[in-house]
Amino acid sequence: MTTIQGPAIFLAQFLGDQPPFDNLESICRWAKGLGYEGVQIPTWDTKYFDVQKAAESKTYADEIKGIVEGQGLKITELSSHLHGQLVAVNPAYDTLFDGFAPEQYRNNPKARTEWAVQQLKNAAKASQNLGLTAHGTFSGGLLWHTVYPWPQRPAGLVEAGFKELANRWTPILNTFDEAGVDVCYEIHPGEDLHDGVSYEMFLEAVNNHSRACLLYDPSHFVLQAMDYVSYIDHYHERIRMFHVKDAEFNPTGKQGVYGGYQSWVNRAGRFRSLGDGQVDFGAVFSKLTAYDFKGWAVLEWECALKHPEDGAREGAMFIQDHIIRVTEKAFDDFAASGVDEAKNRTILGL
């Protein structure tokens, strides 16, 4: 077994215009001061990190790595969630998702998709240049608007949707394979890959591609009333990344999983700061450790109530307290009687 690495923090929710959140060096200094050992860097804000430059220039990648390591941290992974979302967008969501792309690609779905695909391929090479082996993203969604089967889905619709999704992702997966990097899909409502069954459908469509892996985040399963612990039993061989994020689901006689179009504060299911929700992280860390998860425990802070800086400060210690330092010996070694083949045969009655 391996001791999970961490604590680390996903920077996306903390980027901003005011110090210490306005540049990579200062936000890393802030994170280190809270007790974090690693940072997960988003690829969509060039003020902090230019993914194209990192793909094209090993020198630039080394400079970025030097900035992070200069503050006593490691880069855990890159994240291209917004780009992954744009790989597959149903026209019903074009206007909403256009904001994820630069101005010149808006109102032009084909150009927007091509740009997003290239950004992901850049992320593969950038990860390689940084010495990383895993990358987090979303799958995008062509079918999400049909997640509830009313009106009735036409025969073959789901199969056609996953075939197209696989056609778009297979060249990206191949690029990541060439770079020696796993693509870790965050299983997430709004994406075609939103639970275990939909992930398996995608995996079949991409011929069980070795790089089609998983980013495990239990919070999204809490909000779907799923068993987030046994999920690890099913998919531990594909889990390469871990977002430590809490959530709570409190259905009432008025609303449940769908949330009744309410704000995050008023939804039955909502994300919470670590320790304020319902995720049994003792069970989660134990399960991942038992399956020899070798990656990082990365805080993804999202909470409808608590201030982000408080969530980040509390999160570092929370993760540290849950990381299990694995044992190097069995607890009952003191009673070991050694190896004696003859004795073993006697015990067996042979």
Question: Which class for 13: exposed (0-12), middle (13-18), buried (19 or more C-beta within 10 A)?
Answer: middle
User: Tens digits of per-residue pLDDT, 244-271?
Assistant: 999 999 999 999 999 999 999 999 999 9
> Nearest-CA neighbor of 14 among 52, 51, 40, 37?
40
Does 332 have pLDDT greater than 90?
A: no
Q: Which helix (H) or strand (E) holds 177?
A: helix 157-179
Which residue is it, tokens 């969604």? 141
Q: What is the mean pLDDT of residues 16-40?
A: 98
Burial 313-334 (b: 16+ CB within 10 A, else e): ebbbebbeebbeeeeeeeeeee
What CATH homologous superfamily does 5-348 map to? Answer: Divalent-metal-dependent TIM barrel enzymes (3.20.20.150)
Enumerate the β-bridge partners of residue 79: 42, 136
pLDDT number for residue 224: 97
pLDDT number for residue 29: 98
> Nearest-CA neighbor of 250 among 235, 242, 232, 262?
262
Geometric angle at alpha carbon 34, from 246 and 219, rounded to 5°? 10
Does 337 have pLDDT greater than 80?
A: no
Give percent helix, percent strand, percent coil of the chain, each to the nearest 5. Answer: 45, 15, 40
Residues 6+ apart with CB under 8 A from 136: 40, 77, 78, 79, 80, 81, 184, 186, 215, 241, 243
Report the C-alpha gap between 275 and 195 in whole angstroms.
Answer: 24
Does 118 have pLDDT greater than 80?
A: yes
Q: What is the mean pLDDT of residues 118-144?
A: 98
Q: What is the mean pLDDT of residues 266-278?
A: 98
Contact between residue 246 and residue 285 where contact means Cβ atoms under 8 Å apart: no
Residues 6+ apart with CB under 8 A from 36: 7, 8, 9, 73, 299, 316
pLDDT number for residue 61: 98
pLDDT mean across residues, the chain: 97
* Cα separation values, 348 from 66, 335, 341, Å: 60, 20, 11
Does 202 have pLDDT greater than 80?
A: yes
Report the C-alpha gap between 250 and 255 in whole angstroms.
Answer: 9
3-state secondary structure 25-63: HHHHHHHHHHCCCEEEEECCCCCCCCHHHHHHCHHHHHH
Q: Which letter does DSSP use for residue 194 in this model? A: -
> Nearest-CA neighbor of 212 among 230, 198, 229?
198
Q: What is the mean pLDDT of residues 82-89?
A: 98
Provide the greatest CA pair distance for the chain.
79
Report the C-alpha gap between 241 and 134 in whole angstroms.
Answer: 7
pTM: 0.96
Q: Which helix (H) or strand (E) holds 8?
A: strand 5-10
pLDDT number for residue 333: 82
pLDDT number for residue 347: 87
Contact between residue 272 and residue 307 where contact means Cβ atoms under 8 Å apart: no
Q: Confidence class of residue 113 from pLDDT cuts 50, 70 and 90? A: very high
Report the C-alpha gap between 88 and 79 in whole angstroms.
Answer: 17
Q: What is the mean pLDDT of residues 279-294?
A: 98
Report the C-alpha gap between 203 and 212 in whole angstroms.
Answer: 7
Does 339 have pLDDT greater than 90?
A: no
What does the domain layout of the chain look like in residue ranges? Answer: 5-348
Q: Confidence class of residue 338 from pLDDT cuts 50, 70 and 90? A: confident
Distance of CA 112 to the CA centre of its chain: 23
Contact between residue 279 and residue 302 where contact means Cβ atoms under 8 Å apart: no
Which residue is it, tokens 């992070």? 68
pLDDT number for residue 174: 98
